[in-house]
Amino acid sequence: MILGFSSSIHKRYEGSTFRLMSDTVDKALEMAGLQRDNIDGLIATFLPGTFDGNIALHFYTSQLAQYLGIRPRFLDYVDFGGASALAMLYRAEKAIASGDADNVLLIVGGKASPVRERKVTADSIDRAYKGITLTPFDEYFRTYEDMNPVTDYALVAKRHSHLFGTSDEQRAEIAVKQRFNASGNPSAIYKERIEVKDVISSRIVSDPLRLLEIVYPVDGFHVFVVGKSGGKSNLRPLRIKHFGEAHWPDMPPELPDIVSTPAIESARGARQMLDKIDCFQLYDSFTITVLLQLEDVGLTEKGKGGKFAEEVDFTYQGEIPINTGGGSLNVGQPAYMSGGVILEEALIQLNRMGEGRQVKDVNQVLINGIGGWNRAHSTTMILGE
């Protein structure tokens, strides 16, 4: 059961990453009605460069526990990038059910700014720091120039258009509708309404993806507190009604095609429940990421994502609300992983805390996380009472 959650997002946070993490933990514990002493479990994730610019933290989870002053009897580390947050929640619930822990902290995030300022991303970090390999065969795999993950998702968008006739305007609809949702979210960093022509006229970053289709990496954390009972928490007693996880470690050149994600497999068991879902939170590193999940989760057929984006009102007021807080395209992506953003928005909707963008009568939310370099991981979760 999720007892508390919190987030702290800054375009650039001047203090230490540990301090930012610690403050976010305290806010989540306050909502949960718990003290640090009550915590006996910890699950975290990490990407190179996102903790005060360090490429690695030796025994990472132990360092976090040390700083927080907690002594866990259950400790875990999940490295599925943007798919991690949901996997962590699932693992925490299992640990609690089996008696391995009573109250587990989930910590997702870090500081993107030290990586951003070196003009790389977490997925091209080997271009800025030595001693990191991205694949077991980097010498043959890495080209002279790329800008991953942007260039890779651009290849996907280009091929999707080639195979299915998806237009730039259709992808732009995703940015426009999510921005509409963001206009009701006080914690979004981008709130001004935009139109399709604004997206189309924004700078091309990697053809065909434009600036307004791409997430902005920020400094920040999402912390979730998972415990056995409601206790002092005022949150709804939510449980995981479905969870699926799938991992495709093949790099894109070796996939049968690049226009599908492992959500096809992770969402398999959720597909027959789609008509009972009140809103969807789909991973949104890029507009094309959302478009792929519309198809792979099963909201529309493969190849029809563009048409769906164009024709379906998926704002928070619409028939199928998607990314109701504006998603990470508008909230920002802490430490190059948006899993916390989509999980937090699901909890906000389920607990009727959506202020300017609350969907009516939300009882079940489907959340889909995508992560790893080049869509290697997918986690699909349905949360409800």
Pick from 58, 97, 99, 140: which binds other proteins (CB under 8 A)?
Answer: 140
Q: Cα-Cα-Cα-Cα dihedral of 48, 3, 1, 354, to 10°?
A: -90
* CB-CB contact of 47 with 81 (8 Å): yes
In the region spanning residues 214 to 253, those forming contacts with other proteins, defined by CB under 8 A, are 250-253
In the region spanning residues 284 to 323, those forming contacts with other proteins, defined by CB under 8 A, are none
Q: What whole-number distance in Å separates Cα of residue 231 and Cα of residue 253?
A: 50
User: Where does residue 36 rank: exposed (0-12), middle (13-18), buried (19+ CB within 10 A)?
Assistant: middle
> Could you tell me which of 237, 210, 245 has the C-alpha nearest to residue 376?
245
Nearer of residues 208 and 230 to other proteins, judged by Cβ? 208
Pick from 141, 165, 211, 234: which binds other proteins (CB under 8 A)?
Answer: 141
Question: Cβ 305 to other proteins, closest distance in Å?
Answer: 17
180 CA to centre of own chain: 19
In whole angstroms, how far apart are CA 346 and each of 16, 196, 351, 353? 29, 26, 9, 10
Nearer of residues 160 and 177 to other proteins, judged by Cβ? 160
Question: Cβ 133 to other proteins, closest distance in Å?
Answer: 13
Q: What whole-number distance in Å separates Cα of residue 357 and Cα of residue 233?
A: 23
Question: Cβ 373 to other proteins, closest distance in Å?
Answer: 12
Pick from 58, 99, 131, 136: which binds other proteins (CB under 8 A)?
Answer: 136
Nearer of residues 4 and 306 to other proteins, judged by Cβ? 306
Task: Report how far apart the first and last C-alpha atoms of the chain are (Å, whole number).
Answer: 10
> Could you tell me which of 102, 108, 41 has the C-alpha nearest to residue 75?
41
- Regarding 150 and contact with other proteins (CB under 8 A), the answer is yes
- Binding region for other proteins (CB under 8 A) out of 60-68, 95-103, 156-164, 278-286: 156-164
CB atoms within 10 A of CB 301: 12
- Regarding 165 and contact with other proteins (CB under 8 A), the answer is no
Number of chain residues interacting with other proteins (CB under 8 A): 31
Q: What whole-number distance in Å separates Cα of residue 73 and Cα of residue 90?
A: 18
Pick from 22, 63, 151, 167: which binds other proteins (CB under 8 A)?
Answer: 151
| Site map 75..114 versus other proteins, x via CB under 8 A | ----------------------------------------
Judged by the rule CB under 8 A, the positions of this chain that interact with other proteins are 135-137, 139-147, 150-151, 154-156, 158-159, 162, 205-209, 250-254, 258
